Amino acid sequence: MEEQVGIRWHHLVTRLADTRHPQAAVMLERIAPRLATVLRALGADPGLGVRASPERRLATPRRWLQKLAGTGRRHAVAWRDDDGLRLPPVLDTFDQIALNEGLGLWLVALASRAPAPGPADDWAGWNRRLVAQTLDDYPGLAELYGRLARTHVAQRPRPALQESDGSRREAALQAALLEPRDAPAVPPAAGDPLPVPLWLYPVEAADNARPPSDDAAEERPAAAGAGQQLRQRKRASYVDDIDGRSGLLVFRLESLFSWSEFIPLDRTADDDDTDAARVAEDLDHLSLSRKRSASSSRLRVDLDLPSATEDDIPLGEGRLLPEWDWRKAALLPDHCRVVPMLPRGATPLPLPARLQPAATRLRQRFESLRPQKSWLRRQADGDVLDLSACVDFSVQRQLGSAPGQPLLWRRQSAQQRDLACLVLADLSLSTEAAIDDEHQVIDVIRDSLHLLGEALDAGGDAFSMYGFSSRRRDHVRLSLIKNFADAWGDEVRGRVQSLRPGYYTRMGAAIRQATEILGGQAAEQRLLLLLTDGKPNDLDLYEGRYGMEDTRHALMEARRAGLQPFCVTIDQEAADYLPHLFGAQRFHLLRRAQDLPRVLPQLYLLLTGRSP
């Protein structure tokens, strides 16, 4: 009973103390894609993005109700960082949806004019100059800004009559909001002013927000997938690891770490500690441990091999394939064993419901591009006379060189487009990495395969799909999803759904095997489409130059076999090495992995010449 009263009181008093407008709230995740596009356009950098910001603690004056409710200490504000703009996850400063959306647009324009994160000192002056510059550069925003500023100033408390530092500052701040060009400077005062949603804040000062430099970190296999992602970005700083080897054990009771200061949430070790994740959500400061070493994580991966009963079903002993050693400039014969695998436990599944609308659209689009019936000209027999053939024939007859069996007819026939496509998807452990709050790279790859499969099935092109990963040269796994003979259906969809990331990326061997499969197709045009998220690498010496050169050689073999390799990658550094591997125009770099399912079918049309 007491507890219930307490909860009710808490709800009531927090609602009363709340100065926000939930009825007009605009969720950032809804408008973020649009704002990000605007930011990229105005900010002149295709790498920029818009993400949610965590709340930060500000020492602002609080109303007595807020003090009573214990709220108003933490505020979601906006700031510019190197990756783009951080915005509050919910925009609810104003009581109209249009104004809250306008606030997002305004902050994006403001951030596009900020060359770098704002300075911690002279915050108000920096913002005033920024606002003035933004209004100069984008005169179309003056009207919006005027409305936002007027409405917001009306929400702020009227500066008290008695002269105090705080009220002088508040008055100057309000004047600066309304007249960013010619208001007087904002005087300093103790504490923070009430949050100004129309301005950008400096990046939150953290002593050690950068991870300590750690060479071993680079060599680690990229298994950065955190099991659970927090919905908000958390402030985080790296702490020194507790060194277990130091001899003297000093135990002082007051130095015990409390929960709020240090929890050993080891993000690099993929712990499934849901409890820690839950706790982390409640905390506003995380301490991260950087403790790891390449050997221990390698060991872990090797030990983590599934037992034979759990692993995918190997289809036969595998095939021995050569590998290119660039130092010897020679192909090492029978160097890799490529084992075809079938995902275990793949049950026939329908297409996930969330992909249904996109799949329907794609099906319609690709069906309309199916090879149409066309008129074949100059046939020996047919339904209609071929006029131009007849004219040519009569000309030639007059010239005295007409053939005895003229081809004068036109016939209608279904024209075959002679095209086969093999999709090779990278399933290495790095695809376990998270791309946003809810999705991992592997989710995106699965969705992409689903949608591309739907599209190609509707378009009537011959295609097959494989995934690949590797664990040293004796175990290159080629997961069969669909071969050229399989029909696209629930069984294949189930295999797509059961794809799981694991191991490394021995790209060369996988490409050679794919070349062999695709080379066996009799089509005139053969497209080898590679989806990947990083460079070739494996546990042994297959990394750096070695892996790169082997992959390049495998691709040259593919081209010699008459295939057209093309790579789609989400690795942002790929522009450094993909031209070397695939050729300048033969790859596509996606800035946002989430776009892959949408872009891939379009790209396929582009590559096969059915869209401009």
* Paired strand residues for 589: 569
Alpha carbon distance 14, 580 (integer Å)? 60
Taking contact as CB under 8 A, which single stretch among the options 44-52, 92-100, 422-430, 434-442 is the one that binds other proteins? 44-52
Q: In terms of CB distance, is 43 or 193 closer to other proteins?
A: 43
Does residue 564 interact with other proteins by CB under 8 A? yes
Does residue 16 interact with other proteins by CB under 8 A? no
Between vectors from CA 319 to CA 316 and to CA 320, what angle results, nearest 5°?
145
Does residue 350 interact with other proteins by CB under 8 A? no
Does residue 609 interact with other proteins by CB under 8 A? yes
Taking contact as CB under 8 A, which single stretch among the options 18-26, 83-91, 136-144, 279-287 is the one that binds other proteins? 136-144
Does residue 392 interact with other proteins by CB under 8 A? yes
Helix (H) or strand (E) holding 607: helix 596-607
Does residue 332 interact with other proteins by CB under 8 A? no
- Out of 20, 21, 34, 267, point to the residue binding other proteins (CB under 8 A): 34
E-strand stretches of 93-220: 200-201
Distance in Å, CB of 415 to other proteins, minimum: 12
- Out of 164, 394, 412, 572, point to the residue binding other proteins (CB under 8 A): 394
Taking contact as CB under 8 A, which single stretch among the options 171-179, 306-314, 486-494, 503-511 is the one that binds other proteins? 171-179
Q: In terms of CB distance, is 143 or 304 closer to other proteins?
A: 143
- Out of 313, 315, 385, 606, point to the residue binding other proteins (CB under 8 A): 606
Does residue 384 interact with other proteins by CB under 8 A? no
Strands 74-75 and 56-57, by their bridges, are antiparallel
Distance in Å, CB of 561 to other proteins, minimum: 15
Q: In terms of CB distance, is 316 or 612 closer to other proteins?
A: 612
Does residue 35 interact with other proteins by CB under 8 A? yes
Phi-psi category of residue 233: left, alpha or beta, with phi > 0 → left and psi -120 to 50 → alpha: beta
Between vectors from CA 443 to CA 441 and to CA 446, what angle results, nearest 5°?
110
Does residue 83 interact with other proteins by CB under 8 A? no
Distance in Å, CB of 312 to other proteins, minimum: 32
Does residue 5 interact with other proteins by CB under 8 A? no
- Out of 65, 105, 269, 539, point to the residue binding other proteins (CB under 8 A): 105
- Map residues 140-169 to x or -, x wherever contact with other proteins holds by CB under 8 A: xxxx-xx--xx--xx---x-----------
Q: In terms of CB distance, is 174 or 498 closer to other proteins?
A: 174
* Paired strand residues for 184: none
Q: How far is CA 335 from the centre of its chain?
A: 35
Say if residues 563 and 526 touch (Cβ distance below 8 Å). yes
Alpha carbon distance 560, 512 (integer Å)? 12
Does residue 299 interact with other proteins by CB under 8 A? no
Does residue 139 interact with other proteins by CB under 8 A? yes
**How does DSSP classify residue 391?**
H
Say if residues 467 and 479 touch (Cβ distance below 8 Å). yes
Distance in Å, CB of 11 to other proteins, minimum: 28
**How does DSSP classify residue 594?**
G
CA-wise closest residue to 29 among 201, 232, 229: 232
Q: In terms of CB distance, is 473 or 526 closer to other proteins?
A: 526
Alpha carbon distance 382, 497 (integer Å)? 49
Does residue 136 interact with other proteins by CB under 8 A? no
Q: How many CA atoms lie within 13 A of 169 on its CB side?
A: 19
Alpha carbon distance 426, 505 (integer Å)? 7
Q: In terms of CB distance, is 548 or 590 closer to other proteins?
A: 590
Say if residues 509 and 469 touch (Cβ distance below 8 Å). no
468 token code pair: 């690949």
φ and ψ of 8, to 5 deg: -60, -45
Alpha carbon distance 385, 381 (integer Å)? 9
- Out of 395, 541, 556, 575, point to the residue binding other proteins (CB under 8 A): 395
Distance in Å, CB of 225 to other proteins, minimum: 25
Taking contact as CB under 8 A, which single stretch among the options 133-141, 236-244, 279-287, 295-303 is the one that binds other proteins? 133-141
What is the three-class DSSP state of 314?
A: strand
Say if residues 335 and 553 touch (Cβ distance below 8 Å). no
Kindly state the number of chain residues that form the binding site for other proteins, as judged by CB under 8 A. Answer: 50
Distance in Å, CB of 285 to other proteins, minimum: 34
- Out of 25, 65, 178, 224, point to the residue binding other proteins (CB under 8 A): 178
Q: In terms of CB distance, is 41 or 556 closer to other proteins?
A: 41
Between vectors from CA 251 to CA 245 and to CA 254, what angle results, nearest 5°?
130
Does residue 493 interact with other proteins by CB under 8 A? no
Does residue 40 interact with other proteins by CB under 8 A? yes
Does residue 391 interact with other proteins by CB under 8 A? yes
Say if residues 453 and 488 touch (Cβ distance below 8 Å). yes
- Out of 189, 279, 591, 594, point to the residue binding other proteins (CB under 8 A): 591
Taking contact as CB under 8 A, which single stretch among the options 135-143, 256-264, 326-334, 546-554 is the one that binds other proteins? 135-143
Q: How many CA atoms lie within 13 A of 217 on its CB side?
A: 11
Spell 61-87 as b/e; 16+ CB within 10 A means b.
Answer: ebeeebeebebbeebbbbbbeeebbbb
- Map residues 424-463 to x or -, x wherever contact with other proteins holds by CB under 8 A: ----------------------------------------
Alpha carbon distance 150, 101 (integer Å)? 16
Helix (H) or strand (E) holding 32: helix 28-43
Binding site for other proteins (CB under 8 A): 33-35, 37-38, 40-46, 105, 109, 138-143, 145-146, 149-150, 153-154, 158, 174, 178-179, 388, 391-392, 394-395, 398, 525, 527, 564, 566, 585-586, 588, 591, 602, 606-609, 612
